[in-house]
Amino acid sequence: MNTSTNSTFFQTVIQKRWLGKAFLLLLTALAVWRIATALMADPLLFLQQVVNGLQLGFVYALIALGYTMVYGIVRLINFAHGDVFMVGSFVSFYSITRFQLHLWPTSVFPAMSENLSNVIGVLTVIVVAMIACALLAIVIERVAYKPLRNAPRISALITAIGVSFFLEYFAALDFVFSANFITYKRPIEVVTWAIGANGITQLSGDAPPEGTILLSNIALIIIVTSILLVVALQFIVHKTRIGKAMRTVAYDKQTARLMGINADAVISTTFAIGAALAGAAGVLYAIAFSQIFFVMGILPGLKAFVAAVLGGIGSLPGALLGALIMGQAEVLSAAYISTPLRDAIAFSILIVVLLVRPTGLFGEPEREKA
């Protein structure tokens, strides 16, 4: 009698997967407890961290969208994407320092108001970087990936790593960019606002007033630009002919060809759009952190990729959500758990999420593809 109840209890534990669930619950409880105590201790500081996390998360989102689009259409983990991001920030750096591109509205239309010309100047720099990155991506795709479209998938992955190395170390050569840290010249002055119960005040001195959250125009630019680009991307993918073609090719390349879609052109376009987003992210990242370096693309690229996987690679809303989670995870764990461990924590979150949802938050169940 006794043994039989024991064994049924044991069976329930096994069948309901209680042990594994208990383990995950323990981890989640620890994280929730840490966040809750931080929120109780200083809500404003916590809110400030969340804003910082949003700023970072939106930059990751722009890179992650490129990863997820390319993966969705050719099932390739494009490791060179992070380096396209780096090229974007370098292009913007040179267009600002050499060609004074951010100043053209003031020199052409001196009568224009200062704010408007600033905005147009920054947008021009971003667009130039986006175009440069898109062209670079088309070249990369033609040279390194297209010849291997029918080879095993791993071959294209290896060439992607090769392209990544090449971009990094070619950029590090003296006559190309530089192997040193470069201080980025921001196209606009930083303005910081303190938002509190007493309304919004522009921060002039060094000490922010008590009980406020700081928000800079840089953060605003990043968040607004990213949202605009994400919306534009949604529009392109869901409302235009090329977007429809992209979705078709992602679904089934052979059938798309039979329907008269030029699959190669669509794939090139996808690479170009993804790279353009990465280029924009490169400019925004450089404006935010004001330092650029030839291997600066590796870690943001990796984290954005993790974000894409977290959200379910191949899914656009997934990439956005995953990137926002990654941004928060990084900033919050740096603030409340341990600064050196912040990347380790971000990766642990990825692994735990994959254990619960094996294809990411919004991922489709795995479909076997030859």
Partner 1 sequence: MMSKLSKPTLWFLGSSVAIYVVLQILVSTGLLNSFWDTIIRIGAVMAIVSIGLNLIYGFNGQFSLGQWGFYAIGAYAAADVTYRWTVNKSADGLVILFLATALSGASILWLHQRIAKVRGIDPLSAFTIYLTSTIAWSALAFWVGITATPAVTALLNMLPAAIALQIVFIVAVLFSAILAAEISYLFGLPILSLGSDYFGIATLGFTVIVKILLDNSDTLLGFVEMKGARGMIGIPKITTLFWVFFFLMVVIVLVRNLLRSSYGRAIISVREDEIAAKAMGIDVAEYKIVAFVLGSFLAGLAGGLYAHINGFLHPNTFNFIKSFDPMIIIVFGGLGSITGTIFASFAWALVLEGILRIFLPQGFETWRFVVYPLLLLVIMLLRPKGIFGDYEIPFLRQVLPKPRHPEKEKIEAEKIAEVQP
Q: Which residues bind partner 1 (CB under 8 A)?
A: 13-15, 17-24, 75, 77, 143-144, 147-148, 151-152, 154-155, 157-159, 161-166, 168-170, 172-174, 179, 298, 302, 305-306, 309, 313, 338, 340-341, 343-344, 347-348, 350-351, 354-355, 358-360, 366
- Structural element, H or E, at residue 251: helix 241-251
What secondary structure letter does DSSP report for 182?
Answer: E
Between 58 and 79, name the residue whose CB sits nearer to partner 1: 79
Q: What angle do CA 35, 41, 44 make, to 5 degrees?
A: 85
Shortest distance in whole angstroms from residue 227 CB to partner 1: 27
Closer to partner 1 by CB, 157 or 214: give it.
157
For the chain, the straight-line distance linking the first and the last C-alpha, in angstroms and rounded, comes to 54
**Least spacing, CB of residue 13 vs partner 1, in Å:** 8
Q: Is 192 helix (H, G, I), strand (E, B) or coil?
A: strand
In the complex with partner 1, the residue whose CB is nearer, 77 or 218, is 77
Residue 360 C-beta: closest distance to partner 1, Å:
8
Q: Are 324 and 335 in contact (CB under 8 A)?
A: no
Helix, strand, or coil (residue 69): helix
Which of 123, 114, 80 has the alpha carbon at shortest distance from 284?
A: 123
Torsion angle defined by CA atoms of residues 223, 226, 228 and 234, in that order, rounded to the nearest 10 degrees: -140
Q: How far is the CB of 341 from partner 1 (least distance, A)?
A: 6
Residues 283, 291: Cα–Cα separation, whole Å? 11
Cα atoms in the 13 Å half-sphere on the side-chain side of 275: 28
Phi/psi of residue 77, nearest 5 degrees: -85, 105
Cβ 133 to partner 1 shortest distance, Å: 19
Nearer of residues 20 and 211 to partner 1, judged by Cβ: 20
Tell me whether residue 11 or residue 240 sits nearer to partner 1 (CB atom): 11
Smallest separation (angstroms) from partner 1 to the CB of 19: 4
Q: Nearer Cβ to partner 1, position 103 or 148?
A: 148
Q: Which amino acid is at 274?
A: G
Residue whose pair of structure tokens reads 């780096």 in the numeric block: 86
Task: State the minimum distance, in angstroms, from the CB of residue 150 to partner 1.
Answer: 9
Residues in Cβ contact with 314 at an 8 Å cutoff, skipping those fewer than 6 apart:
68, 71, 72, 250, 363, 364
CA distance 59 to 216: 15
| Residue 171 vs 222, nearer CB to partner 1 | 171
If the CB atoms of residues 53 and 363 are measured against partner 1, the closer one turns out to be 363
CB of 358 to partner 1, least distance (A): 5
Distance CA 342, CA 346 (A): 6
